[in-house]
Amino acid sequence: MFSYRHAFHAGNHADVLKHVTLVATLRHLMRKDAPLTLIDTHAGAGVYRLDDGAAQTSGEALDGIARLQALRSAAISDQNPASASAHSTPIATNNIASALTDYLDLVASFNASAARGGWRVYPGSPFLMHALMSEPARAPVHDRLRLFELHPSDAPALDAHVAQLAAGRQIAVARQDGFEGLKALLPPPVAAGGSRRALVLIDPSYEIKSDYAKVAACMQDSLRRFPTGVYLVWYPIIPRPEAHGLPRRLKTLAQQTGRAWLHASLHVGAAPEGGGLSASGMFVFNPPHTLKLALDAALPQILQVLGAGRGRGQAWSVENGGASPR
């Protein structure tokens, strides 16, 4: 336990899938003025350096967010007629999916001082959520962010990073088991206007195989406590029965509880040197009705960029079903 450090994986293809889905979901939820409780049961360190030892050793961000940064840079310079067509990119730079552009613009906002070089900072889910809730148009709504992290090094790192945001009581960090801590937060409090709204990201490291069963049990319990919450579950696609079984279990649970659901997956293909994670999925309960269209447009583009030079098994999918969309 606790050999997993997200710093080695920050900005890889799995983070891209997870965070594009998270940002697109939150954007939709934030169209309404009623405050949201945002919960990250497995928060990590919050924000990561891409130029430090961990990211450089693994090289995962280089094959992930760095490639997408290059696409964004090409798109920006193609908007300038003087340099148009100077780049060769796998997709037309004037046709980048809006969910992908939105996500990349958000990551870019953490790298404003590195406009001309490679991005040095990658925001994890807590910082992406905080960035969206503190945008000028959204800040007056006063969303709340609740974070859980257990790692003996990443928990204090998260504390320190969150302290720098000076967000006061809007953000609370607990060094506690996220599966357990979530129970006390659901249902969320009634906000001004009388509504209860929450988005929960469940993103364990699956270091121990009991995490798969814990995710399923946690979702069953959470839907009982707060059936209308929006829940996003990330999972790795690896040759392990528990991993294959998890999306099936979650889909069955959605159907049994009458909840709308969406299941997205991204397989970037085998790495040339072999090894490493090459696919992952996101399962969403009560997804916004806009999410399928957003991912249908973004995932094939992400795959074209991140799959370049990789081996077989490249694929993406977005499936949904269930009760009427929100």
Return the active site residues: 203
For position 125 contacting ligand SAM by CB under 6 A, the verdict is yes
State the minimum distance, in angstroms, from the CB of residue 70 to ligand SAM. 22
Task: Kindly tell me which of 179 and 212 has the beta carbon lying closer to ligand SAM.
Answer: 179
For position 154 contacting ligand SAM by CB under 6 A, the verdict is yes
Residue whose tokens read 């969309």: 325
- Interacting residue with ligand SAM among 203, 230, 259, 310 (CB under 6 A): 203
Q: By rule CB under 6 A, what string of x and - marks binding of each residue 165-184 to ligand SAM?
A: ------------xxx-----
- Interacting residue with ligand SAM among 103, 148, 226, 283 (CB under 6 A): 148
- Interacting residue with ligand SAM among 134, 170, 195, 205 (CB under 6 A): 205
CA–CA distance, 17 with 303 (Å, rounded to integer)? 10
For position 8 contacting ligand SAM by CB under 6 A, the verdict is no
**In 70-203, at which residue ranges do the beta strands (DSSP E only) sit?**
121-123, 144-148, 171-174, 198-202
- Residues 151 and 1 sit within 8 Å (Cβ to Cβ): no
Q: Which two tokens stand for residue 235?
A: 């999972």
Q: Which two tokens stand for residue 167?
A: 């967000």
For position 283 contacting ligand SAM by CB under 6 A, the verdict is no
Residue whose tokens read 């709308």: 260
Number of amino acids touching ligand SAM (CB under 6 A): 20
- Interacting residue with ligand SAM among 11, 16, 35, 42 (CB under 6 A): 42
State the minimum distance, in angstroms, from the CB of residue 204 to ligand SAM. 6
Exposure letters 267-279 (e unless 16+ CB within 10 A, then b): bbbbbeeeeeebb
CA-closest candidate to residue 199, choices 219, 175, 228, 173: 228
Q: Which stretch binds ligand SAM (CB under 6 A): 41-49, 50-58, 223-231, 281-289?
A: 41-49
Residue whose tokens read 């939820």: 29
Residue whose tokens read 């996500």: 103
For position 232 contacting ligand SAM by CB under 6 A, the verdict is no
- Residues 203 and 150 sit within 8 Å (Cβ to Cβ): no
Question: Which parts of this chain interact with ligand SAM (CB under 6 A)?
Answer: 4, 6, 18, 40, 42-44, 124-125, 148-151, 154, 177-179, 203-205
